[in-house]
Amino acid sequence: MTETLYSAFVEQALKSPDATAVYSDAGVLTYGELNERSRELAERLVADGAGPGVPVGICVERTPDLLVGILAALRAGSCYLPLDPNYPADRLTFMVQDSGTRLLLTTPASRASCPPGPTVVVLGESVTTEPGAKPAAVVPGDTAYVIYTSGSTGRPKGVAVRHSGCVAMLAEMDRVLDGCDLSGVSAASSVCFDLSVMEIFNALCRGGAVVLVESAVHLPESRYADRITHLNVVPSVMNSLLDAGALPPNVRTVVFGGEALRRKLVDRTYRETGADRVFNAYGPTEGTVFCSFGPVPEDGTDEPTIGPPTTSDRVYVLDEQLNPLPAGEPGELYLGGAGLAHGYVNRPRTTAERFVPDPFRNGERMYRTGDVVKFTDDGELRFLGRTDHQVKLRGYRIELEEVEARLTGCPEVREAAVVVRGNRLVGYVVPAGDDAPQGGPRLDAALQSAVTGRLAAELPDYMVPATLVFLAALPLGPGGKLDRNALPEPPAADTGGPLTAAGTPTEVALSEIWGQLLDLEPSSIDVQSAFYDLGGDSLLLIRLARLMTRRFDRRVRVPDLFSFRDISSLARWLDDESGATPEAVQSARARANTRRAALRGRGGATGR
């Protein structure tokens, strides 16, 4: 029986060494090549001190090298700590220091993003090491990976997940997905989120192929998009892909997760795609990717459930006294069984608070999810909400209290609250000192820039509020606590200066397209304002690229929209392609680099 993630991969590599394991715009690898490269790198890591209990940081861009690094860390006997090169430097440094990571794997392209401290191993560098370095034996209870999740205390916390939980998850996927085509499994999620574990290892440990893409936004642009047969996706991303007509044509299996799934989207998926099997999955990182997973039938009428509990997990719905509740009665969801993580790295108190004794299994533990659910009469779970202020936004797990803590840590801010409005975070801020506004809510471009600039240096982009509303005071309820329901809708933006109106026919046409997507009057759009500044996000960019392609009879790609981010520059590029020299394009992309990271983060899981 397979006992670890790496041994499961090796079994497949030995069976079919010539089969393709990874498709990527940056290269293609067979199982044999991936196995050999990860084996060689593992020897180097062992020589540098890798082994059980030693995390290996993986700070690598989304190329096949990312998978080589992950597999090498596992083969070396270590667990891997994913580090997104696009994360703020302070956050990466915290994750490395908090986890005790002393060994870090990177590439020349991502070397500059690596935090200081660990020994750095650069893929591709020629280094002489002792051949045949032997990794220590790994047992199922050893940690496979550490993933940092948003923390309610204002600090992220690392979840240590066991090999045995991962292997049990793969076995469950075998059972539920029986017969699904894994020859092209999309991998668009950031490795900093545990959906990536399902994407990568469900393919590599079962003889399938990973189609590695930068993010869901870039999915339509991948040269291997047509190979995707199995799509793992967040509901809001799926809606945008369908709106843009950008879903890969050969998708036959769709697995939803990360957000509430609605019947309307299920019906649309069956109706507008070639998919013949749709699934819904749910689970916290602490439960190893998912704890409930099941098919969503095509002919259903009710809103989808989050599926039945997995066979390897124990799932309880309990009241405040930890008494089991019957079907139909809402309560908090608790998890036990094979998928249960070790706990939080270097957080014994938090671990003890969340991983509590299981009253039904002497000597075992269960995890308090904070999610409110109920059992249906046929044994499935229906998600009802949260007991705290944690949210999932386009697949990203966010503790609103962490964002609020960072906001109030800014010198410009006295008090703060954060809520979800539509598909984005909105922050409500009472400025410090004499900056507090008199009267109703307002926007302030200078304060917004100062505060979000500070947040961007501390938080991943998906956690930075898209809009800050400045208030004289936060609304309070009768008991003196914040009344989130009384927070006002954000006021309309005021540019604070004269509008630069569309002048050329191309600018007029672009203003019409932007107005259609952003629900704005075309005449109100400043042609020098960025798409994001007007309320756009990376999911809308997919639709924008498609609409522009049709309107101007010329292929427009999402990366082009990262380079030419306002109507004025887009119009010049469209009107005079010869004027967009390689140097000009490179300069434009350099200017847009910080925007690009923000757009990716706010648009989906992708992936990060």
User: Which pTM value belongs to this model?
Assistant: 0.81
**If you write DSSP's letter for every residue of 319-358 in order, what string do you get?**
-TT--B--TT--EEEEEEETT---EETT-HHHHHHHEEE-
Task: Kindly report, residue by residue over 64-87, the tens digit of the pLDDT.
Answer: 999 999 999 999 999 999 999 989
Q: Give the span between the Cα atoms of 142 and 129, in whole angstroms.
A: 26
Q: Helices 593-603 and 538-552: crossing angle, nearest 10°?
A: 110
| Cα separation values, 114 from 43, 66, 96, 159, Å | 22, 14, 10, 21
Q: Residue 195: inside a domain, yes or no? A: yes
Pure H helices in 383-458: 400-408, 445-456
- Radius of gyration of the CA atoms of the chain, in A: 24
- Residues paired with 431 in a beta bridge: 413
Q: Tell me: do 382 and 403 sit in the same domain.
A: no
Position 395 scores a pLDDT of: 74
Token pair of 549 as six digits:
């392609």
Q: What's the chain's average pLDDT? A: 86
**Model pLDDT, residue 98:** 96
In the predicted model, residues of the chain with pLDDT beneath 50 are 1, 495, 578-608
d(CA 371, CA 379): 17
Please tell me the total count of domains within the chain: 4
478: which residues sit within 8 A by CB, 6+ positions away?
A: none
| Domain identity same for 105 and 211 | yes
My answer on whether 102 and 206 are in the same domain is yes
527 shares its domain with 471: no
Phi (first) and psi of residue 253, to 5 degrees: -125, 130
Report the C-alpha gap between 257 and 109 in whole angstroms.
Answer: 31
Q: Please answer whether residues 393 and 425 qualify as being in contact, where contact means their C-beta atoms are separated by less than 8 angstroms.
A: yes
DSSP string, 51-81: -TT--EEEE--SSHHHHHHHHHHHHTT--EE
Domain holding 454: CATH number? 3.30.300.30
Same domain, 149 and 52: yes
Enumerate the β-bridge partners of residue 80.
Answer: 56, 145
CA 311 to chain centre: 26
Do the strands 119-122 and 103-106 form a parallel or antiparallel pair, or are they unpaired?
parallel
H-run or E-run covering 160: strand 157-162
Furthest C-alpha separation in the chain: 75
Which amino acid does the sequence have at 513? I
Q: How far apart are CA 549 and CA 475, in angstroms?
A: 46
Which CATH number do you get for residue 550? 1.10.1200.10
Quick one: 529 and 469 in the same domain?
A: no
Does some domain include residue 102?
yes
Per residue in 522-549, pLDDT tens?
888 888 887 876 777 767 788 888 889 8
- Supply 297's token pair: 């039938």
Residue 98 lies in a domain: yes
CATH of the domain at 225: 3.40.50.12780
The answer to the question of residue 157 being in a domain is yes
- Contact indicator for 307, 281 with CB cutoff of 8 Å: yes
DSSP string for 167-210: HHHHHHHHHHTTT---SSEEE-S-TTSTHHHHHHHHHHTTT--E
- Domain range enclosing 370: 313-338+346-391
Same domain, 524 and 591: yes
φ, ψ (nearest 5 deg) of residue 243:
-60, -40
What is the C-alpha to C-alpha distance for residues 167 and 338, in angstroms, rounded to an integer? 9
pLDDT at 325: 96
Give the Cα separation of 484 and 252 in Å (integer): 41
**Does residue 64 sit in the same domain as residue 107?**
yes
Q: Which residues contact 35 (CB under 8 A, 6 or more apart)?
A: 9, 10, 13, 14, 17, 71
With 0-12 CB in 10 A as exposed, 13-18 as middle and 19+ as buried, what is 307?
buried
Residues 169 and 51 in one domain: yes
- Whether 142 and 265 map to the same domain: the answer is yes
Residue 519, sorted as left (phi over 0), alpha (psi -120 to 50) or beta, turns out to be left
Q: Are 397 and 390 in contact (CB under 8 A)?
A: yes
* Distance, CA of 564 to CA of 466 (rounded, Å): 20
Cβ(287)–Cβ(313) below 8 Å: yes
pLDDT at position 301 is 84
In whole angstroms, what is the distance from residue 17 CA to residue 589 CA? 39
Kindly give the pairing relationship between strand 103-106 and strand 56-59.
parallel
Give the per-residue pLDDT at 57: 98
Does some domain include residue 494? Answer: no
Instruction: Please tell me the predicted confidence (pLDDT) of residue 589.
Output: 39
Claim to verify: residue 64 and residue 174 sit in the same structural domain: yes
Q: Tell me whether residue 497 is in a domain.
A: no
Q: Are residues 122 and 207 in the same domain?
A: yes
185 within a domain of the structure (yes/no): yes
**Sign of dihedral through CA atoms 153, 157, 162, 168?**
positive
- Report residue 193 as tokens: 């989120």
Beta-strand pair 230-233/253-256: parallel
- pLDDT score, position 435: 56
Q: Identify which of 5, 330, 193 has the alpha carbon closest to the alpha carbon of residue 604.
A: 193
Contact 413, 407 (CB under 8 A): yes
CATH of the domain at 326: 2.30.38.10
Q: Which of 5, 2, 28, 62 has its CA nearest to residue 203?
A: 5
Examine residue 496 and state whether it is found in any structural domain, yes or no.
no
| SS3 state of residue 29 | strand
CA neighbor of 420 nearest in space, from 470, 492, 489: 489
Residue pointed to by tokens 């191309």: 506
Q: What does the alpha-carbon distance between residue 330 and residue 333 come to, in Å, rounded to a whole number?
A: 9
Give CA angle at 460 (63, 397), nearest 5°. 95
